[in-house]
Amino acid sequence: MRVAERDMETPTGRQVLIEVAYAGVNRPDVLQRSGSYPPPPGASPYLGLEVSGTIVATGPDAHDWKVGDQVCALTPGGGYAQYCLADERHCLPVPRGLDLLAAAAIPENYFTVWTNVFDRARLSPGEKFLVHGGSSGIGLTAIQLARAFGAQVSTTVGNAQKADACLKAGAHHAVQYRDTDFESEVRQATGGAGVDVILDMVGGSYINKNLRLLALNGRLVQIAFLEGSKAEIDALPIMTKRLQFTGSTLRPRSDEDKGAIAQALAAKVLPLMEKGQCLPLIHQVFPLAEAARAHELMESSRHIGKIMLQVRP
């Protein structure tokens, strides 16, 4: 990857043009760079799914924001740049008490967790929740939100340092999957009852274990496949326990869908952030010119929390 110049874009319709301060680095960026996650039709071919910064221009139909407003935004691409287009409906105000660095770490993870855990899986207070990869940006977001909304939270991690980070974030129980079988550990931690909702990014051999771990009327939500999307599964638990196995991707969804998620976050999550709760954890910040190093760190899985790019000096 290298930095290059291109012509400035002009916002149309309900778009806003953001002068970018920071951009988040996410696993889909790595997949797109490797050629396995092409952008949807009409999206920017450049990397970057979330930014923070200042609005410098608005499209003719935009009315929610004005030039000079500071926002963070979910973007369909193009965030690794000095200027980035976003639909105004996908922008959020910078929460009081947070700076632009923290704000840029919000959109991709919080949109993803909210729509999958709370909209699709309908996680409710008092339910038992398991998220795999708890020390990732997605994982730490899921832990904090699930705990804030009254769930009992378990997670899987790769080492003791990551386990400590997840427990500090609010997890009740962290399993080091390299040292023990997470299925038996989580089952024991829940008194044999299993869990009500699982958020999984691994797939592969985890799928059958997840299905066995789910309690009656449990919900499994798949959002990625680090171990592959193909597996031979025993579907009997789906029938006998009345399970739901679902999943989603965020980037191709309609502008209206993403706008609805933004409204839910503004109403339900930003007030918590302004009280100092459910905040993103930043692992490391790289200059935009060192985006390749940021991707190397992402691929190593050594990080705990978000990897960010500083665009504006």
155: which strand partners?
131, 174
Question: For 9-20, what is each residue's pLDDT tens digit?
Answer: 999 999 999 999
Strand order in the sheet with 173-176: 173-176, 152-157, 128-132, 195-200, 214-222, 244-247
pLDDT at 274: 98
pLDDT at 58: 98
Question: For 64-80, what is each residue's pLDDT tens digit?
Answer: 999 999 999 999 999 99
pLDDT at 235: 96
CA distance 305 to 249: 20
Question: For 106-134, what is each residue's pLDDT tens digit?
Answer: 999 999 999 999 999 999 999 999 999 99
What is residue 187's three-state secondary structure? helix
Question: For 278-303, what is each residue's pLDDT tens digit?
Answer: 999 999 999 999 999 999 999 999 99
pLDDT at 42: 86
User: Average pLDDT, stretch 241-256?
Assistant: 96
What percent of the chain has a predicted confidence (pLDDT) above 90? 96
Three-state secondary structure string covering 63-129: CCCCCCCEEEEECCCCCCCCEEEEEHHHEEECCCCCCHHHHHCCHHHHHHHHHHHHHHCCCCCCCEE
Residue type, 283: H
pTM for this entry: 0.96
pLDDT at 98: 98
Domains, the chain, in order of start with CATH, read 15-108+251-310 (3.90.180.10), 121-247 (3.40.50.720)
pLDDT at 313: 82
Hey, what are 164's tokens? 């400590």
User: Average pLDDT, stretch 257-262?
Assistant: 98
Of 34-38, 64-68, 81-85, minimum mean pLDDT range: 34-38
**From residue 21, how far is each of 24, 201, 313 by CA, in Å?**
10, 29, 8
Question: For 177-218, what is each residue's pLDDT tens digit?
Answer: 999 999 999 999 999 999 999 999 999 999 999 999 999 999
CA distance 202 to 222: 8
Contacts of 37 (CB under 8 A, 6+ apart): 28, 31
Name the average pLDDT for the chain. Answer: 97
Alpha-helix runs per DSSP H in the chain: 27-33, 100-104, 107-113, 137-148, 160-169, 182-189, 206-213, 236-240, 255-268, 270-273, 291-300
